[in-house]
Amino acid sequence: MPDLSHLQDFELSELLSEEPDRCRLTLLGTLPSSWNASNDAKGHRLRAIIRIEKNAIPIEHSTSLFQDLIRKVEMMESTDIYTWFSGWMSSEASITKQPQGDVKINVICPATDVHVRKYTKQESILVQETPELYRRIVEPYIAGFPAERTRWVTEILAGRAEQDKVLYSSSDFIILPDMKWDLHTTSSLYLIAIARDPALRSLRDLRGNSHIALLETIRQEAYKTVGDKWGIGRGGLRMWIHYQPSYYHFHVHIVNANYELPGMGMAVGQAHLLEDVIALLTVNSNIFDVMTLTYGLGEQHGLYEPMKAAQEEIR
C-alpha cells in the first residue's frame, strides 16, 4: 500500500490552486509507478494531483493548544489592545522554510463586552435603514461609540504604531496591510486604506462634491502600490466599503480579486464596491444621505434590537 515514502517521491510540476481561506493547496506532479500496483508501465512516473487541506483543530485540543500543538510563535505586530502572531506547528527544521507560519494568531486583550458579542456565533437578520432611521437610531449610536474602540487607528495615523508596515501615506489617507493578512501569501493579499479625517465615519458621510477625489485617489494609489510591490494589475483588486462597518472611522478594504473571503465580509448588502460607490456619488452627490440601505445585523450587534423593532415602521 502507498505510504509516506511514496509521497516523499512526489515531484511537483505545477501549482493548480491555492485557497488560503480554506487552508488548501492543489498540486500537479508525478509519483513513481510503484504507487499503483496495477500499473503496467513499470519504471515510468504517473501524473498525479494532490490536494492538501488543513483539518479543523479538534475542540478538545483548545485547552492545551499552546502547550502541545503550537511549537513556536513570533509577534507580527501590536497596536493598542490588538496583537497578532505567526505560529508554527511544524518541526524546528521546517520553521525557517515557512516564514508565514502554520497559523495566524490574533489576540485582543483586554477584550470588552463589545468584542465578546462581535465574535460570538449569532443569528442575523436583514434590516432596512431609511434616512430617518439613520438619523434617529444609527447616528446617535455612532456618536456614542467609545473612543477606545478606535484608539488603534489613532495610534497608526499619529505615527506611533505600525509605521514599518505603511505602504502609502498622504495628508488624506494611508494604506497598510490589514491584520487579517499573513504578510506573505499574495493570493490572500489584504490591505486597508484609512482616511485621516475623523469626521468621515461611514458610507453615510460620503458626499460627491467632497469625497469622490479621495475615493478615486485611494483606488489609484492602491493599484500603484500593489502593482509596484506584487505585480498585480488593473482588475486584480476587489475594493469595498462595509456598512455597517466594524469600527466608525472611514476605511476601504483592498483585497486580491481572486481571494474569496468566508463569512459575511463580502456579503451582499454589507460590502459596497468602491467603483459602485464612486459611480453613485457621481450621479447624485448626496445619494448616501437620502437612500435606504439594506444590510445584515447579527443579534449581538448594538443596533440589532432597536433596528429590528423599527422595521415595523417600514412599508
Residue 247 labeled ligand binder: yes
> Under DSSP, is residue 68 helix (H, G, I), strand (E, B) or coil?
helix
Residue 246 labeled ligand binder: yes
Residue 242 labeled ligand binder: yes
Long-range contacts of the stretch 134-143 (C-beta < 8 A, 24+) = 134/204, 134/293, 137/303, 137/306, 137/307, 137/310, 138/204, 138/244, 138/303, 138/307, 139/204, 141/302, 141/303, 141/306, 142/201, 142/202, 142/248
Is 251 one of the annotated active-site residues of the chain? yes
State residue 153 phi and psi, 5-degree precision.
Answer: -65, -45
SS3 sequence of 233-296: CCCCEEEEEECCCCCCCCEEEEEECCCCCCHHHHCCCCEEEHHHHHHHHHHCCCHHHHCCEEEE
Residue 115 labeled ligand binder: no
Grid coordinates representing 190 are 489584504
Residue 295 labeled ligand binder: no
Q: How far is CA 67 from the centre of its chain?
A: 28
| Cα–Cα dist 243/203, whole Å | 7
**Catalytic, out of 6, 61, 211, 251:** 251
Residue 249 labeled ligand binder: yes
Residue 152 labeled ligand binder: yes
Given its phi and psi angles, is residue 64 left (phi above 0), alpha (psi -120 to 50 degrees) or beta? alpha
| Cα–Cα dist 89/72, whole Å | 7
Q: Which helix (H) or strand (E) holds 214?
A: helix 208-230
Residue 178 labeled ligand binder: yes
Q: Pairing mode, if any, of strands 168-169 and 124-129?
A: unpaired
Residue 92 labeled ligand binder: no
What is the CB neighbour count within 10 angstroms for residue 191?
A: 22
What is the CB neighbour count within 10 angstroms for residue 53?
A: 10
> Under DSSP, is residue 314 helix (H, G, I), strand (E, B) or coil?
coil
Residue 252 labeled ligand binder: yes
Residue 44 labeled ligand binder: no
Binding residues: 152, 162, 178, 180, 242-253
Binding residues for substrate: 152, 162, 178, 180, 242-253
**Residues with active-site annotation:** 251
